């Protein structure tokens, strides 16, 4: 199956990025991410709780016609800043890795 370890930290980035466009609720995020990368519910909810505790999200409840009330997550200012940091890191990181695995055994 999909490499578990690749996901460490990246899930973080994905959730933040998805919340940058609009507020979303947990189950919705699980569905959206699962379409592209395998992820368990537990991971996403755990992450949402953690980042909320760290001040990157604010939450509010809203009732749903098709089940229990949904907890929506909204990026805080800190969350937006964190997202920008992670985005930049992700880009330079993947670039670095691609250079490393690109095959050129150059010293420089």
Partner DNA sequence: ATTTAGTACTGCACAAAGAACAGTACCGTA
Partner DNA sequence: TACGGTACTGTTCTTTGTGCAGTACTAAAT
> 44, 49, 47, 42: which is closest to 32 by C-alpha?
44
| Torsion angles phi and psi, residue 83, rounded to 5 | -60, -45
How many Å apart are CA 21 and CA 13, to the nearest integer?
A: 13
**What does the DSSP 8-state code read for residue 65?**
T
**CB 16 within 8 Å of CB 56:** yes
Stretch of 44-52, 63-71, 72-80, 82-90 lying at the interface with its own copies (CB under 8 A): 82-90
Binding-site member from 6, 42, 65, 68 for its own copies (CB under 8 A): 6
Query: Of DNA, its own copies, none, which one does residue 53 interact with (CB within 5 to 8 Å by kind)?
Result: none
Asked if 18 touches DNA (CB under 7 A), the answer is no
The separation between CA 14 and the C-alpha centre of its own chain, rounded to angstroms, equals 3
Binding site for DNA (CB under 7 A): 4-5, 7-12, 25-28, 38-43, 45-50, 64-68, 70-72
Binding site for its own copies (CB under 8 A): 2-10, 12-14, 17-18, 20-22, 32-33, 36-37, 86-87, 89-90, 93-94, 96-97, 99-101, 103, 105
């Amino acid at each position: 199956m999909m490499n578990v370890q690749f996901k460490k930290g990246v899930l973080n980035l994905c959730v933040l990025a998805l919340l940058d466009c609009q507020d979303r609720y947990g189950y919705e995020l699980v569905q959206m991410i699962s379409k592209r990368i395998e992820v368990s519910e537990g991971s996403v909810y755990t992450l949402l709780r953690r980042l909320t505790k760290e001040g990157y999200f604010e939450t509010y409840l809203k009732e749903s016609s098709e089940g229990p009330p949904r907890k929506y997550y909204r990026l805080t200012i800190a969350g937006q800043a964190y997202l920008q940091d992670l985005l930049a890191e992700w880009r330079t990181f993947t670039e670095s890795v691609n250079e490393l695995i690109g095959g050129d055994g150059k010293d420089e």
